Structure 1
Amino acid sequence: MMPPETIPDPTSRPRVRGFAARAGLEQAWAWIDARSPARGIETVAPWEAVGRHAGSDVAAGSDLPPADRVAADGFAVRAADTVGASDYNPIPLGLSGPLLPVSAGDAVPPGTDAMAAAEHTRSDFGMIELVASVAEGEGIERRGDDVGAGTIVLAAGRRVRPSDAALLAALGIDTVAVVRRPVVRIVPVGRDVGDGNDLDSPMLAALVERDGGIADRRPADRRPTVPDGLAALRGVLAEPGADLILLAGGSGLGETDRSAEALASAGSLDIHGIALRPADSLALGMAGGTPVVVLPGSPARCFAGYEAVAGRAVRRMAGGNAGFPFPQATLVTARKIVSPGGWSDFCRVRLTGEGGVEPIGSGGLASLSSVARADGFVLVPADREGYPAGSAVAVHLFDPGAGT
């Protein structure tokens, strides 16, 4: 049976009402999309823009190359003087004028119109001889051959690559507009995280940085571990300076789980409990105008909740695509994937070879080793009860080289 569409009353105490109804994964995505527009634009140097998303189109202000230039190492010649050159009829260079050795990037010497590659010459008794004819313009890059002035060299929204930065620098472009990286405050919640057991926040920091955000995970001496107390949690939620807040832990209904209750009292608890295995206790709300995602404290469940929901907010705020940041491959199930139906399922899978995959453990029981051993995941939609063996499924691969 599909989960009901009604979101629970956010004014009721979460631990009292329990998960009376769970939002669907699509509802959670819609909530995220409505509250995570791209951040503002800032200007940085081309090399500092690598990995960021361009905030506007960038056009070349000049031609590249700016003038005719030699494209490879060799000798500058007049093409007409090379006609008929071969191994059997070598033509000496430098008889009708000075020998003109050139390197890639040099200006084309006056009076020449081609470049004879070094491999098409030989040295015989101190004489350089050409053993192949060259056509006019051969080995020469003309002005604007690479990029013409006015050409869009970086489109708005594109994630800037090192090659893009190099091209911008070659064109003399000193600055580029990029989307500001969102600041994501990461707060571990729980009584034991101060004993060196905090696995969630370093993992989340790495994921946030991967998705284009700035992880605000302050050293322990500057931010003491937040306990489960409502007052401490409300204080963290009220602190300004973040574009997104991730509370890791305290999302459930136990006696010490106070994160959802703190969010309700500090702002709004809009969704608590989603039909997603294994991150079903995830919560969403607002505090002081800042979106907040409450993730389960178990590292494996925390990971699934971030990848399925919270990461979407970071990527959108950074100016990127909301979808999963993984290559996707269509592979065949070597064993049945079991899912309850009515729930989305973040099913970890591993490759079996020859285009096959198999599930690792149960979707509802998430161990950290199952995440570490997984090559990717299959997101089973709520309207399916898994996939029988031999089914073609879309697999999101953690390693870009996997499955190829």
Structure 2
Amino acid sequence: MIDYTKALELLLAQTCRLPAELCALDEATGRVLASAITSPIALPSFDHAAMDGYALFAVKPLPAGSEHAVYGSQAAGDVAGKAQHVDGEQDACEIMTGARLHEGLDAVVALERTECLGTHADGKPARIRLRDPLHAGDNVRYTGSDVALGVEVMAAGTRIEAAQVMLLAALGISTLEVVRRPRVAIICTGKELQADATQPLAAERIHNSNGPYLCAALAAAGAQVLFCETVDDTAITFADALQRAIDASVDLVVSTGAVSMGRYDFVPETLRRFNVQLLFHKVAIRPGKPLLCAAMANGPLIIALPGTPMAVAAGMRFVVVPVMRAMTGQGSEHALFAVLDTPQQPKAGLRHFLRANLHQGSDGQLHATISNQQQPFRIRPFADADVWVVLPEDAGDCPAGARVEIVSLEAHSPPRVRSSP
């Protein structure tokens, strides 16, 4: 048995970054950039008004009370002209938010900070008076003030979400280079498992919850799940499913069950017949100690999880997700911390992954309350939890008030913070 850090190190050493492919922007949400993106244009791409009002030339500040003739109107999308001057007077152009400034104008006064002194026959303003002084640059959005031309706006390894889509669309980027999604096969073992939830459940059967969970969690983490199979407790059916995964050229196989030391735990021996490189079997973690990982020459990585639900959930979050991040070039996650409200006495030598609720205390800090139902068969506390609390192998007794590491329940979702209890 090896410790978690060493196990993850061995596994990541066998993990290769996947190749890049082109992706349309409207299909890029959830994908990961394969290469950095530099801006092909400046944002804004021209000087424009930040609000409705009047554009003027104010390189020499215009005093409050100064009066100006209004010679025209400029709406967003209109072609910009040139400033006009009548009898040497500094004239104003009515302007709308987002409209390009006429050449020779450099400031905008807000509509509500002016007094209309007269109108034309068509009702448009003819003359205004400033209520406040006006300086060059007031209420103007300058070219490149958001994004300069040619600067890097997103690094390789960035996961594309809605905010990134907005920026890329504003830059006129319609196609980008992303990392190919990891192709994954799921194999759930156990003759007691019933995969079809539409059929009546026999007395000796249980619904397969691990398969649907892994499908959902892997998809949320950015994987392409090619298939999810449920097989019985025989080596031959598992071997057949594994061969189908190999033939489908998957990058990763995640299995559940049959990985411990019982008579029906055939996964280790079956993998040996496939001539895999066994990386490790048994890791000093709770839940999920019987975890096995292997690498196949010119084939997929194999992560074989125990079959109990929380061993699967912990294995997914703390073993599968780091592999997925390495495959897509995202690197490791940043550590988060909270104050422990419920004292713990973890078993020495094991890294514990505990389900907990999270709230912000009156001290302004995040506080974690660990559920007292940590048995690995219990699913309800997991569904009700907000975060994982991670206690390292040498944590010792953890009193209330201790600072502990927390990890979001699912990949790419921030921890949920509840109202104070």
Q: TM-score range by the shorter chain?
A: 0.7 to 0.9
1:43 equivalenced with 2:50 (yes/no): no
Contact conserved, 1:201 with 1:217, CA < 8 A, in 2?
Answer: no
TM-score normalised over the length of structure 2: 0.79
- The percent identity for this pair of structures is 27
**Residue identity opposite 2:331 in structure 1:** N
Partner of 2:417: 402
**How much has 1:352 moved relative to structure 2?**
7.0
* 2:395 pairs with one of 381, 384, 388: 384
Q: Does 1:250 align with 2:258?
A: yes
Paired residues for 1:81-120 under 5 Å: 83-85=62-64, 89=65, 91=67, 93-94=69-70, 100-120=93-113
**What corresponds to 1:155 in structure 2?**
155
CA distance in 2, matches of 1:312, 1:342: 22
Measured against aligned partners, the alpha-carbon deviations of 1:73-104 in whole angstroms (never above 9, x if no partner) come to 2222233798233xxx4735427668633223
Which shows bigger deviation, 191-200 or 24-33? 191-200
The answer (yes or no) to whether the contact 1:313–1:322 under 8 Å persists in 2 is no
Structure 2: which amino acid aligns with 1:359? I
Q: How does 1:267-286 map to 2 (within 5 A)?
A: 267-268=275-276, 269-286=278-295
Q: Secondary structure at the match of 1:396?
A: strand
Greater shift, 358-367 or 63-72, is seen at 358-367
Distance 1:30 1:111 in 2: 62
SS at structure 1 position matched to 2:303:
strand
CA-CA distance at 1:47 after TM superposition: 4.0
Task: Give the secondary-structure state (helix, strand or coil) at the position aligned to 2:157.
Answer: coil
Counterpart of 2:292 in structure 1: which amino acid?
A
> Would the alpha carbon gap of residues 329 and 341 (structure 1) be closer, same or farther in structure 2, given more than 3 Å must change?
same
Give the aligned residue type for 1:400: P
In 1: Cα distance, 2:356 partner to 2:416 partner: 16
Q: Is the alpha carbon distance of 1:274 and 1:388 closer, same or farther for their aligned partners in structure 2, counting shifts above 3 Å?
A: same
Q: 1:193 offset after TM fit, Å?
A: 3.0
Q: Which amino acid aligns with 1:202?
A: P
* In the alignment, structure 1 residue 301 sits paired with structure 2 residue 277: no
State the partner residue of 1:262: 270
Query: Is the partner of 1:79 in helix, strand or coil?
Result: coil
Q: Is the 8 A contact 2:60 2:136 kept in 1?
A: no
Partners of 2:59 and 2:106 within 8 A in 1: no
Q: Could you tell me which amino acid in structure 1 is paired with residue 415 of structure 2?
A: P
Q: Which residue of the other structure, out of 372, 375, 383, is the alignment partner of 2:383?
A: 372
Residues 1:360 and 1:45: Cα distance change in structure 2 (over 3 Å): same
Contact 2:61 / 2:136 at 8 angstroms: preserved in 1? Answer: no
Residue equivalent to 2:185: 185
The residue type equivalent to 1:322 in the other structure is: S
Superposition TM-score, scaled by structure 1 size: 0.82
Which whole-Å CA distance do the structure 2 matches of 1:147 and 1:93 have between them? 35
Is 2:149 aligned against 1:142?
no
76 and 310 in structure 1: CA distance in 2 versus 1, 3 angstrom threshold: same
Query: How far apart are 1:172 and its partner, in Å?
Result: 2.6
Is the Cα contact below 8 Å between 2:254 and 2:304 reproduced in 1? yes
Higher mean C-alpha deviation, range 302-311 or range 130-139: 130-139
Gaps of 5+ in 2: 72-84, 120-124, 198-206
Match of 1:347 in 2: 354
AA aligned to 1:228 is: D
Contact 1:75 1:102 in 2 (8 A): yes
In structure 2, what residue type is equivalent to 1:299?
P
- Extract unaligned runs of 5+ from structure 1: 1-21
Tell me: CA distance 1:377–1:90, structure 2 relative to 1, closer, same or farther (3 Å): same
Change (3 A) 1:84 1:323: closer
CA–CA distance in 2 between the matches of 1:143 and 1:286? Answer: 53
Measure how far apart 1:284 and its partner are.
0.9
Instruction: Determine if contact 1:65/1:147 at 8 Å carries over to the other structure.
Output: yes
RMSD: 2.8
Counterpart in 1 of 2:201? Answer: none
Q: Partner of 2:75 in structure 1? A: none
* Distance in structure 1 (CA, Å) of the matches to 2:162 and 2:232: 43
8 A contact 1:38–1:318 mirrored in 2: yes
**TM-aligned CA deviation for residue 292 of structure 1:** 0.5
Amino acid at match of 2:353: F
Describe the shift of the 1:60–1:194 C-alpha distance in structure 2 as closer, same or farther (beyond 3 A). Answer: closer
Provide the C-alpha distance between the structure 1 equivalents of 2:51 and 2:44, rounded to a whole number of angstroms.
14
| Structure 1 counterpart of 2:225 | 215
- 1:374 to 1:172, Cα distance in 2 relative to 1, 3 A: closer
